[in-house]
Structure 1
Amino acid sequence: MAKSKNVRFDYFKVYSRSFNEEKNVMEDKPANLKDILETASQIEVKKRIIVVGDDVARLQSIDFNNNMYELHFIRIRKNGYPVKAHDDGSIGYFQDVTDEEGFGEEVSALYDPKNHIVMIRRNMFSLSPSAIASFFTSITNVPGYSYYFRPLVHPKALSLMKKDHLVKSAVVNIADIKNAAPQTKATVGKIITKADEIHESVNFSFKISLNPKGSKKKSRIPIYEELMALSQDDNVVGLDVTTKANEDASVEYLDLIEQKLVDFHRFSEKDFDLHFKNVVHKTVISQMHRLYRTRENDLKIYK
């Protein structure tokens, strides 16, 4: 059994997107999941299902403690099972799993209805924030209305780059473009279109940059708003920008993702369940409460 396990926790602000018929525009604003969680708690567990690629996930439990909602998701694998490997060198197969069963991976989340903030345990088997948000959207079942989670970013991170700075290049890494926010997909298209606005050659790979040969000191790629939008999507895992405050300033290298609010905690051997040989939801959620309490002052700073 592993002696310790390092676990990552990410923080997000809950937002909703809906169509304002009066203004004829889509509007984004902070949203409270309290009502939808109360609705979800009344749904049979077996029907609280999220489709995640070839797998499914289930909202196993919803509990309310210390003014916070404790959410326990199970990501369920029903194919591609691993083999059993014995220390004696032999291997075996899981043969007693029925069609109604599967292997589950636990995902824990903590929701603060007062601040509209959700904290999610992240790992390689975790549900993406967009998948969890889509689950709540499906329960709401209102045409044109959706939830999404926006990463909490330190205001200084975004203030490092001003609108009037000269953007020279940007390298963007999107972990799962299929599950990226609709705004992110639209933003990628906008960036390509905006390349038509300058008279110089522009490289695109999803690295976009001015061609150094023949580039003028005052040249810029006009994608400030698009970069700010990309920084708000958790599927965007890398966003490195080179910029200049003005045409005579030195080039600066900025990482707009680095300042997201993230916590790590290393669970020791004493935290492992002896039967499951892992850190179970109850232990993880207890630690999440403790970490969240230490972040209360930070939550007033991060946007």
Structure 2
Amino acid sequence: MAFSKNVKFDYFKVYATRYNKEKEVVEEIPCDLSDLFRQLQGIQVTERVYWMGDDQARLQNLECINDKWNLHFVRIRKSDFPIITKDDGTYSYFEDFEDDEGLGEEISALYDPSNYIIMMRRNRFSLSPTAVSNYFTSVINEPGFNVIFRPLIHPRAVELLRKDHLIRSAEISISDIKNARTTTKKSLGQILDKAGDIKESVNIRFKISIEPKGSKKSSRIPIYEEIEEMVNDPNVQKLEVRRKADENSSVEPVDLIQHRLVDYYQFKESDFDTQARNILHETVISRMHTLYRKRVEEINNTYV
């Protein structure tokens, strides 16, 4: 059976907060990190380190290609190592690490200074986007100056769901059901009306989905109209659906309240490096450039 790995990529717009002495207010403005990156290129890699508790974050490499910056970070662990397991049922420990060695978790990032967008891929145990923005803040080291990554949010997320889509599941969260709109209560059914009799706020979490195993590719949950009624109710805190554009498409998640721009790509076995037993940064960043080129027009016209 061929091996594959589905990887998620997140998009953020880079901002900076700084104190405006003339207006006596803290301003948040788009931030171009290009000057910072050129400064970092002149610093030895051993000095490009940021401490996170007992772990280190290091900017391993950065380069500018076609007016975009490729960034390669590693988070270095020197404690809390995992164990080595064997198929015969035994396990052992990492014993031959020197004091200057550790386990590294990688993160790849692509930065486009033309619209202040940073695209990031990370592993489960690697740096968070906040940790990376804190790294940049620490290098700039200017009082009152902070680098912030804001997720790209679709301004009209409800438009991402159409009536002809095949809705496979929906997850809904409503706060204070008594004060939700009547249409929302009706959409969820009479059981929600009963909750309104309780003399205090009641939160409800509702999830409906088709059982994937054994279901037809054309199966759908016929709740488009109900979802359309609920999406503009301010008491609806969460409204996520998993839908397919048609029966031959993949299932995709859509957050109809606050949809963040993300991409997924399935790396195949041929993308893996046999020595590293992983996907190399060079392979990942190359794919990121391809995905970004397909997204940049949408980003500039919709999300920014």
TM-score normalized with structure 1 length: 0.69
Q: Which amino acid letter does the alignment assign opposite residue 169 of structure 1?
A: S
RMSD value, Cα:
3.0
Instruction: Determine if contact 1:49/1:57 at 8 Å carries over to the other structure.
Output: yes
Q: Residues 120-172 of structure 1, C-alpha deviation per residue, up to 9 Å, x if partnerless?
A: 00331121111111111111111111111000111114999xxxxxxx838xx
* Distance across 1 between alignment mates of 2:233 and 2:257: 19
Instruction: Select which of 233, 237, 242 maps to 1:244.
Output: 233
Say which SS state the counterpart of residue 155 (structure 1) adopts: coil
1:46, distance to aligned residue in structure 2 (A): 0.9
Per-residue deviation, 1:54: 3.0
What is residue 87 of structure 1 aligned with on the other side? Answer: 87
Tell whether the 8 Å contact from 1:16 to 1:28 is kept in structure 2 after alignment. yes
Does residue 69 of structure 1 match 2:33? no
Matches within 5 A, 1:1-303: 3-157=3-157, 169=175, 213=198, 244=233, 254=239, 255=255, 258-300=258-300, 301-303=302-304
Deviations 1:1-45 (A, max 9, x none): 981111110000000000011111100010100001111111111
Separation in structure 1 between the aligned mates of residue 285 and residue 274 of structure 2, nearest angstrom? 18
Counterparts of 2:43 and 2:265 in 1: how far apart (Å)?
Answer: 33
Equivalenced residues, count: 229
Report the Cα distance in structure 2 between the residues aligned to 1:102 and 1:14, rounded to whole angstroms. 31
Residue deviations 1:55-102, cap 9 Å, x none?
111000001112210000011110011121122322222211011110
TM-aligned CA distance change 1:95 to 1:147, over 3 Å: same
CA contact (8 A) 1:242 1:252 kept: no
SS of the equivalent of 1:296 reads: helix
Distance in 2 (alpha carbons) for counterparts of 1:157 and 1:148: 23
Partner of 2:206: none
Instruction: Flag the 1:252–1:139 CA change in 2: closer, same or farther, 3 A.
Output: closer
SS at match of 1:36: helix
Q: Say if 1:169 and 1:242, in contact at 8 Å, map to a contact too.
A: no
Kindly indicate whether the alpha-carbon contact (under 8 Å) linking 1:50 and 1:131 is maintained by their aligned counterparts in 2: no
Q: Is the 8 A contact 2:12 2:117 kept in 1?
A: yes
Counterpart code for 2:98: T
What secondary structure, in the 3-state scheme, does the structure 1 residue paired with 2:46 have? helix
Letter in 1 for 2:233: K
How far, CA to CA, are the matches of 1:38 and 1:261 in structure 2?
28
**Residue pair 2:72, 2:106 contacting (<8 A) in 1 also:** yes
1:253/1:74 CA distance change after superposition, 3 Å: closer
Residue number in structure 2 paired with 1:188: none
| Contact map agreement 2:50 2:57 (CA 8 A) in 1 | yes
Q: 1:21 to 1:291 in 2, by over 3 A?
A: same
Classify the secondary structure of the residue corresponding to 2:289. Answer: helix
| Paired residues of 1:74 and 1:104 also in contact (CA < 8 A) | yes
Contact 1:158 1:256 in 2 (8 A): yes
Structure 2 spans left out of the alignment, 5+ residues: 161-173, 177-195, 202-229, 240-254
Residue 297 of structure 1, CA deviation: 1.6
**Structure-2 separation of matches of 1:18 and 1:49:** 24
Aligned-partner residue type, residue 303 of structure 2: Y
CA contact (8 A) 1:10 1:119 kept: yes
